[in-house]
Structure formats: C-alpha cells, structure tokens
Structure 1
C-alpha cells in the first residue's frame, strides 16, 4: 500500500465552483512536487461535469507541461469524435490549450471495441504508481466504469484494464481501469457534487458493497454541501 490511512477523509465545500478552483490548484501543486521529486507527473483523469470545471482552470495554472503524463480511468466505446467521450471533453476544455507532448496523452482507443482497447491500454499504463487518480461517484455508487454487481477487478491477479460489455448506463460497452490498478497511486481524490449523489454517499458511509467503498477506502473525498446526506448513518 502506498497510503497509510485506512478510511476516507471527507472535505466538504459550499459548491462545485469552489471545489473546481481548489482542485485545479491542488493538481498543479501536486504536479510541481512530482516533477521536482521524480521528474514526471502521472495523472489519471475522470470524466463528468464535476472535474470538467476544474480542467478549465488548468491552462492558466499549470507549468512544466512537458513532464505531464495523462491517462483515463475509463472511456465509453464510441466513435473517436463522439461528444460523450471523456477524451473529447478533455481535449476541448484543457489539453488542446497546453503543450503536453502528444505521446504523453494516453487516450483509451475505445473506438476499437472494449476487448481490443482494454488489451492495448494495459500496455500503455506505467509500471510505477500514478501520482494522482481523480474519480467521480455515480448515483448508483459506481466509479469509473465499475458498477455495483459487476466485476471490479479487485484481485491484483486480474488485468489492470477491464473490457466491459454490460454497463448499467449507456453505452453498455466501455473500458475501465480495474479497482486494484486505480488504487496504485500516491493520491486518490473522489469528486462528488449534487443532491443526486446523497444516496450513493450514504451507502458509502454505511460501507455498502459498492465500487466506491472498495476503491476509495482511503481516498480524499471532495464534495459539496448538497451531496452530503441529510440523514447520516448511525456508524461511519
């Protein structure tokens, strides 16, 4: 294990706007520290609206872009230019505006189908731990494309990437990093915003068997006040 804590740390902010500015500052600070110590910054990005607002701030804050390495936690198996793809969002909001070498931006080739894309992407991932992994939390408790009731790849003997054909949300075909590979990181942030996430967060607090409970057992959870459950569980 790279991190010693054994329970999540909950950081509650007023709204997504404050989370986005704080998160962008934290990412750039951690990047500078990683580059100074190890010569590179390996970041796993999340899709969705919560991190999107933070990515918008990064072009004005970041530096040493030639040392950044970008990976995805998951991707939808859609055409390469489909608006719903995480890669398309990331390019539009951030990556097209900064000089990260293209050989260091590792989009999942999900347009090739889940099986082939998962195989290719497993070979792209670094052998060393990531420096930072960003993840979201779905209303059903899923994270990346790891859904409740499905295989999350918790065992270290399973592949680092998973080909998914029956995701609970469309599109059904996706590629995701496995639970154990997501946890191989120096820092892990969950981003949770909106009242629609209260049930999932309550389940997490109750240690329910959802992917977030397993992957984020020692994560830093950044959430807004709307996401915090109004009725807390008896035990935490």
Structure 2
C-alpha cells in the first residue's frame, strides 16, 4: 500500500527550497543503489522555482547527472522555445546549465514535441502524445509503457487539476501512456499530458502546491473527493505519495 505524507512549509520560498533539497537527496539515494534515475518535472510558479533552487543548491554537485533522465508530466502545445512551454522555463531555470556545466547529457532530456512542421515537432496534441509514448517505451522496463519514475513532480491548480488532467475532461479516463488535451480551461487550450495510468506507475509522486486558492482542493483531494471534481486525488505513487504544501495551501 502506498504511503502518504503531508508536509507543510511556512511559505512558497521555503517550500521550493525544501522540495529542491528533497529532490536532490532522493536522486542521491537512488544513485547509491542503481542507475539511471528517472525524474518527471512540472511547470508552474512553484515547480520552476524549485528547479531554480536545485540550480543554486550545493547538493547539486553531488548528483551524477550523467545518470539522470528528465521527463515532463505535461506540456503546453506551443512552438519550440515559447516562453509558456514548461520545457523552456525548465531549461532557463536549470537544465541548460546542467547540460553545459554538470554533465547532464542532452539526450537524457526528454521534452514533449512542440507545435511545428520540422523534424521532432508535431501538428497536433495527439501526434505529440503518440511520439512521447514511443519515447517513454524506449526507456521502460520490458513489457511496461514507461519508466518506473523515481520521482514524479506535479503542481496542482486551484481547480484540483494535475498535469493537464482537468475536472470533467475526457483525459481523466484516458488509457495508454499519454493523451492529447483539447479545450483546456486554462490557456493554452491544447496540451499534452501523461495519463493517470502512467502517473500511477511512478515510485514516488510529489504534489507541490502553494497559495490559499489551492486550500479547498488540496483538502478535498486528501479527503478522497471524486476524481471528476478533484483530479489530484488520483495522483498516487506506487510506494509513496507526498503532498508538499505551504501553510496557505494547507489551510493553516
């Protein structure tokens, strides 16, 4: 049975700093017993702030980044380099520096395909989702659709969505590894997301949320509210699920 733990930090800055330290420690623990490690990143204010804190941490240098693969839980279906893409923000905050100075192989960075007509780009969210499913399968254990992610980070919106799986949307019930999303209530309307099937295969899932506007849905998810209204309730890891909140999101 998956362990669930709720950790409350006083404010968003401390939350990001503590999550960064926790992530680096988790990578070090994994690398002490096996390689490679697989981590799934999230976007959003706290998600990107966490990556910036990883970049600034003295523990960063202790990780063997050549043995880490980086994935995303969802992506906004926009052209490469667009400022609203999670990939773009993550590269600016951390990944470009890890590639340039810390030995992270560019081939270990696995972005979802952007909108476009060039090689490696996609003409629809479904095409991008299918391409990502194939990429996941390449690095998965035999017979599995995706790696057994060591850490899968998720933000949560005020409506309780995680990744790009929104209340009442068809993607909640999607099968397979990935899904194309249309009509997102939060712009942009087209996105690509891991499915709950894939999220649920992660060894550890961490939901990171800050702000009083998240408090009601965090409480509803922790109370087991219906997934159609509170998608975050299905963000559960195989071995461990962490809810990392600031005091406002915890309703404190």
The corresponding residue for 1:233 is none
Q: Distance in 1 between matches of 2:2 and 2:198?
A: 18
2:179 alignment partner, SS class = strand
Query: TM-score w.r.t. structure 2 length?
Result: 0.84
Between 56-65 and 18-27, report the one with greater CA deviation: 56-65
The yes-or-no answer on 1:79 pairing with 2:46 is: no
Structure 1 residue ranges without an equivalent (≥5): 231-236
Q: Distance in 1 between matches of 2:64 and 2:9?
A: 29
What are the within-5 Å matches in structure 2 for residues 190-201 of structure 1? Answer: 190-201=207-218
Q: Distance in 2 between matches of 1:199 and 1:23?
A: 22
CA contact (8 A) 1:153 1:162 kept: no
The corresponding residue for 2:196 is 179
Alpha-carbon distance change, 138 to 225 in structure 1, aligned in 2, over 3 angstroms: same
Q: Distance in 1 between matches of 2:219 and 2:172?
A: 23
CA contact (8 A) 1:110 1:175 kept: no
The yes-or-no answer on 1:216 pairing with 2:236 is: yes
Q: Distance in 2 between matches of 1:41 and 1:205?
A: 28
Cα offsets for 1:153-207 (capped at 9, x unmatched): 557xx21000111212111111000001011111111001011111211321332
The yes-or-no answer on 1:37 pairing with 2:48 is: no
Q: Distance in 2 between matches of 1:224 and 1:199?
A: 13
Structure 2 residue ranges without an equivalent (≥5): 116-121, 141-146
Aligned residues: 224
The corresponding residue for 2:118 is none
The CA deviation at 1:28 is 1.1
Query: TM-score w.r.t. structure 1 length?
Result: 0.89
The CA deviation at 1:118 is 0.3
After TM superposition, which residue ranges in structure 1, 4 or more long, deviate above 3 angstroms?
A: 152-155
CA contact (8 A) 1:154 1:180 kept: no
Cα offsets for 1:127-165 (capped at 9, x unmatched): 13011000011000100000011134557xx21000111
CA contact (8 A) 1:110 1:174 kept: no
CA contact (8 A) 1:180 1:215 kept: no
Q: Distance in 1 between matches of 2:170 and 2:236?
A: 16
Q: Distance in 2 between matches of 1:183 and 1:205?
A: 16
CA contact (8 A) 2:16 2:49 kept: yes
Q: Distance in 2 between matches of 1:205 and 1:106?
A: 31
The structure 1 residue matched to 2:2, chosen from 2, 5, 8, is: 5
